[in-house]
Structure 1
């Protein structure tokens, strides 16, 4: 059948499916959004509407015509066809054997610089005695509905109830694999003292889910927010990333970001989601080199190189951010192995990352889900079996 515009129904379906290929909105999301408007429970997961978001984003120098833009020149968009969507649902992106999952070993007192990988972009970081949880997603699927959408390829190492007291939840942007309504609402309800730090506009979603506005700090690129926990002051600097945002059919209403968190003695960098950019050198110039980097290394594809770094680019970003500390700093790879979001094999990110790290004098520690590392002392469960991932590859 041919439409009045001359496009076949297959061509229209392929164009619609291309949304999934660029990260963010699956065909299931589109269906759920339509059902949500009819009052189904998934409506709440979509978050705030554009008017509520706009209250926080209006006036940003990085917003034009109601939408945010990357600093780099826009690259030509390449539409994926239906075959890409099918490729992502097939076996190549999944592990061949069950993934080792450890029960996290959380110390009673927060350490100087420790990190526990909880899957995808969720990391519990202990920095100068303060606990920071990045992009917490503990649900079975990263989707507005737990009936459809990308499912976990390994169990969550911990539930919210298993966590030690979390002082700050740090959220990079509003995609479903980084902002999970069920997890953040559970965190807010169980720990009334927990603060939330995020990019401008994203806080509107949290408020829509019942989290009090006075618990939320929002920042635009290069803005700082200070959180004081038990007498320790941490500075959260919202830094550029090269990505996009959106939980429904409208994109880029909220800002996306990377973050530098600086305490009295240590600094860490959290990439969120990003493509490669030379602007990461500017972060080091403005804020200083960091001791720990959490950098996304998965979900890359030739069709969307501008929004997800590949493993070699991740090492380059790590070196930009650590500067003269590169020999002592540690990188922990994130955003791989938990959800199947691209066409590369399950182990490809780490199989490529480690040789690049060795060639570039960079220290990379690859924890299994639930594994941790003490960056200062180079100890922890992540150090006991560094080749654990090979058993699942």
Structure 2
């Protein structure tokens, strides 16, 4: 790309963004939000990421080369309009009863990629989305398929809000602003570039910790325990408007003094997770996405069988627990609602030369103590089959 081409592209991007911002502001009177939900401007993001060695012509790119697309794209929109991802029945939801103090290693799944992880007495909330829709507007966009297990006001004191990337189904403006208000001790940990969004929404820079791939940040919880967060390369993309890949996306290794957990965020399959397991594992708890996959976007989301493979890379031969995320809450792909859980259950079974994988599939609001799995688990076995 020539310098002139880059300049034309930048001007075109700026013009389009200005038009989008103007349009959303004009629609605010009709109940649509203004430009706030889009987040930081490209210039504000660029100021945060400018020194990153992972930028290519001002944008982040995946380390893995693109995979071939499986199948023709024609008809995909028609398939989505048919809404095959809706459940046939009401989805079971449990109201969580949070323990008075954080445990050694436990997780409560709150829907999609939002989970409360307790590790060595520190509480970490992942990719908070408590709004009805994962969209810049609560009038349009993918709507929640089940009730919220709890409201933000019902959460226990948090130490960390951990964010994988800036897509609307992982970074919800209203949720992070409310968390910043109601959880004054919580620190926000995110990939570089995403911090610019948080600052644009009024979250103080002193509460934000950013990292890029292969970097670590440490946060000391209210109990005095230091937890390390290592940014692991994921295979995905970013963007909240028409500008893509200005901010980084990442999976996270959550490393305590006694226990280790892994949060995939959004990712396509990558052999790089073998390196993450070697560098930071073995992990006792792996939260890995299993839904919203499709042959048309193999680099965007893993399927359940790939999730099991990634889990094995991270567990490194141990009896680690796999808890699936990123499924069942929003209709984002062409597969049926229960297919991710069914395929995961099958993939976890033993096979020649392979031991079974220990999985727990919580209902929204279900929790499991990873250290004492029978003592405090509130997960209803095979609950999802009633809605599939």
Q: Structure 1 length normalisation: TM-score?
A: 0.89
Q: Which residue of 1 aligns with 2:333?
A: 342
Q: What is the Cα deviation at residue 86 of structure 1?
A: 3.4
Q: What is the Cα deviation at residue 279 of structure 1?
A: 0.5
Q: Which residue of 2 aligns with 1:378?
A: 373
Runs of 4+, deviation exceeding 4 Å: 29-34, 76-82, 380-384
The counterpart of 2:226, out of the listed 230, 233, 237, is: 233
**Contact 1:293 1:330 (8 Å CA) reproduced:** yes
Q: Matched residues in 1 for 2:123 and 2:81: separation?
A: 36
Q: What is the Cα deviation at residue 30 of structure 1?
A: 12
Q: What is the Cα deviation at residue 306 of structure 1?
A: 1.2
Q: Matched residues in 1 for 2:272 and 2:130: separation?
A: 31
Q: What is the Cα deviation at residue 31 of structure 1?
A: 10
Deviations 1:284-320 (A, max 9, x none): 1211211100000000001001111000000000000
Question: Mind listing any 5+ residue stretches in structure 1 that lack a counterpart?
Answer: 1-28
Q: Matched residues in 1 for 2:96 and 2:19: separation?
A: 36
Q: What is the Cα deviation at residue 38 of structure 1?
A: 4.0
**Contact 2:361 2:379 (8 Å CA) reproduced:** no
**Contact 2:362 2:379 (8 Å CA) reproduced:** no
3-state SS, counterpart of residue 118 of structure 1: strand
**Contact 2:103 2:121 (8 Å CA) reproduced:** yes
The counterpart of 1:85, out of the listed 77, 91, 94, is: 77
3-state SS, counterpart of residue 324 of structure 1: coil
Residues 193-208 of structure 1: pairs in structure 2 closer than 5 A = 193-208=185-200
Comparing 221-230 and 87-96, the one that deviates more = 87-96
The total of aligned residue pairs comes to 363
The counterpart of 1:318, out of the listed 311, 324, 335, is: 311
Deviations 1:308-352 (A, max 9, x none): 100000000000001032x2x101000000000000000000100
3-state SS, counterpart of residue 354 of structure 1: helix
Note if 1:212 corresponds to 2:207. no
Q: What is the Cα deviation at residue 84 of structure 1?
A: 1.8
Q: Which residue of 2 aligns with 1:352?
A: 343
**Contact 1:32 1:145 (8 Å CA) reproduced:** no
Q: Which residue of 2 aligns with 1:259?
A: 252
Q: 1:39 to 1:95 in 2, by over 3 A?
A: closer
The counterpart of 1:165, out of the listed 151, 157, 170, is: 157
Q: Matched residues in 2 for 1:309 and 1:276: separation?
A: 6
Q: Which residue of 1 aligns with 2:107?
A: 115
